[in-house]
Amino acid sequence: MEPVDIVAGHHYTSTFPSSHFRSGLMVARYVEDRHVVLRHDAVTVRRAGEPTEHRALAPGELTGWLDRLEVALSADELGRLLLRVRELDPGSR
């Protein structure tokens, strides 16, 4: 794979109208012994040699995961993010 292939892939996934990367929050990070994928409505945790955990977020749980994953947001950015999440998911996490 060449660097241009990666650039083209990123461009496609960030601009194609039905790409899920345009319509939802997604954060992925390795934390200690696990890989965590956080979406606006769910969390997935993968650990080597163990079954994958996937579940819906409970109301109010999103900010705790953002903290655990060390997502650096100002208070204003967090407020705007939470407003956008409420638009995506009226059950608001």
CA separation for the pair 67, 27 (Å, rounded): 12
Q: Is residue 12 part of a domain?
A: no
Q: Is residue 34 part of a domain?
A: yes
CA separation for the pair 2, 78 (Å, rounded): 36
Q: Which domain holds residue 61?
A: 25-88
Q: Is residue 70 part of a domain?
A: yes
Q: Is residue 14 part of a domain?
A: no
One pLDDT digit (tens) per residue for the chain, 93 residues:
788 888 888 888 888 888 877 778 889 999 999 999 999 999 999 999 999 999 999 988 999 999 999 999 999 999 999 998 988 876 555
Q: Is residue 50 part of a domain?
A: yes
Which residue pairs, CB below 8 angstroms and at least 24 apart, start in 11-20? none
Per the structure, the count of domains in the chain is 1
